[in-house]
């Protein structure tokens, strides 16, 4: 069955990387990214951040794409989540997710090492003992340059990067028919609300108001994506021992800025339509 454009959009909105979403409990990636620009120490609320919280969040995003990631969580060993066993186990070389899982394994290894330094009980309890974490980035000695990421910022940044990698793979696969059909099937099962259709009899004004809300939300999300990309570029650039390749992120950033400009122009156009509609001067 051919899906409507509205259904495809709803599915894509669910699997896309969204910095305003609370993936790991009670904090958003957007809130976390904002701490990067602070040079004075800041107490950031992470709630109960545990092995289960992290593994379940990552698997939730993977599970939308069974043809790529399969039907069993790679973080489960004897029925229990384990970051340690995941990062120390060999990935099946025949897995369709080999490249993605390898990147996640690397980032989670970095997270694990910093987590043990931050909280010596983490290996035994599988969760941080504190619900707040102090993020202290280092002022850059070069005037005008952004701060150098501190250890705790890097630590949380690694699990953020894992989410971004998974969501990016899902969006890429959504563009391929053989993956898209399975993704739609899973998403519709997990989110039955996407089958609800909009009332076709909405007035023009109601449509414009909804368009305005959608565009404002999209702009807010896009700004979060830009902040996230800028943050990742700076994090990778300041890894002194092994600086990461930021070329793909820089291309993505340029596209995100272009997308933001387009959204802002569309919003201005919708605002004009609303103005004309409410003064009865707008002609269809």
**Residue 192 exposed, middle or buried by CB count within 10 Å (0-12, 13-18, 19+):** exposed
* pLDDT-derived band at 209, boundaries 50, 70, 90: confident
Average the pLDDT over 177-185 and give the result.
94
Per-residue tokens: 136: 């202290």
DSSP track, 145-181: PPPBPPHHHHHHHHHHHHHHHHHHHHHHHHTSHHHHH
Domain ranges of the chain: 5-197, 201-284
Instruction: Give yes or no for residue 241 having a pLDDT over 80.
Output: no
Residue corresponding to tokens 């969760």: 127
- The reported pLDDT for the residue numbered 235 is 75
Average the pLDDT over 78-102 and give the result.
96
Query: Against a cut of 0.75, is the pTM above it?
Result: no
Answer whether 267's CB lies under 8 Å from 219's CB.
Answer: yes
Q: What is the pLDDT of residues 112-121, one digit of tens each?
A: 999 999 999 9
Q: How does 82-113 read in b/e, with b if 16+ C-beta sit within 10 Å?
A: bbeebbeeebeeeebbeebbeebbebbbbbbe
Instruction: Give yes or no for residue 201 having a pLDDT over 70.
Output: no
- The reported pLDDT for the residue numbered 200 is 40
pLDDT, mean over the chain: 88
Q: What is the pLDDT of residues 134-160, one digit of tens each?
A: 999 998 888 878 889 999 999 999 999
Average the pLDDT over 74-78 and give the result.
96
Instruction: Give yes or no for residue 222 having a pLDDT over 50.
Output: yes
Answer whether 159's CB lies under 8 Å from 24's CB.
Answer: yes
DSSP track, 176-232: SHHHHHHHHHHHHHH-GGGGPPPPTT--HHHHHHHHHHHHHHHHHHHHHHHHHHHHH
């Amino acid at each position: 069955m051919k899906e409507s454009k509205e259904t495809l959009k709803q599915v894509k909105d669910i699997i896309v990387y969204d910095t305003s979403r609370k993936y790991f409990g009670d904090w958003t990636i957007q809130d976390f990214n904002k701490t990067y620009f602070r040079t004075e120490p800041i107490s950031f609320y992470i709630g109960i951040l545990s092995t289960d919280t992290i593994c379940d969040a990552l698997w939730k995003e993977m599970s939308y794409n069974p043809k790529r990631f399969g039907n069993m969580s790679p973080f489960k060993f004897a029925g229990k989540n384990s970051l340690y066993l995941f990062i120390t186990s060999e990935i099946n070389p025949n897995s369709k997710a080999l490249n993605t899982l390898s990147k996640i394994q690397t980032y989670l290894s970095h997270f694990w090492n910093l987590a043990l330094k931050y909280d010596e009980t983490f290996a035994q309890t599988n969760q941080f003992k504190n619900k707040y974490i102090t993020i202290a980035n280092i002022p850059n000695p070069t005037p005008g340059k952004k701060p150098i990421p501190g250890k705790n910022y890097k630590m949380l940044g690694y699990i953020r990067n894992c989410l971004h990698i998974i969501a990016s793979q899902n969006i890429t696969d959504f563009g391929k028919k053989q993956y898209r059909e399975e993704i739609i099937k899973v998403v519709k099962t997990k989110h039955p609300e996407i089958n609800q259709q909009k009332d076709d009899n909405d007035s023009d004004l109601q449509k414009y108001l909804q368009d305005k809300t959608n565009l404002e939300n999209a702009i807010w999300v896009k700004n979060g994506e830009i902040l996230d990309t800028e943050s990742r570029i700076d994090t990778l650039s300041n890894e002194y021992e092994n600086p990461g390749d930021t070329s793909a992120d820089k291309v993505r950033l340029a596209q995100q800025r272009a997308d933001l400009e387009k959204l802002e122009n569309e919003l201005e156009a919708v605002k004009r339509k609303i103005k004309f509609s409410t003064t009865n001067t707008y002609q269809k």
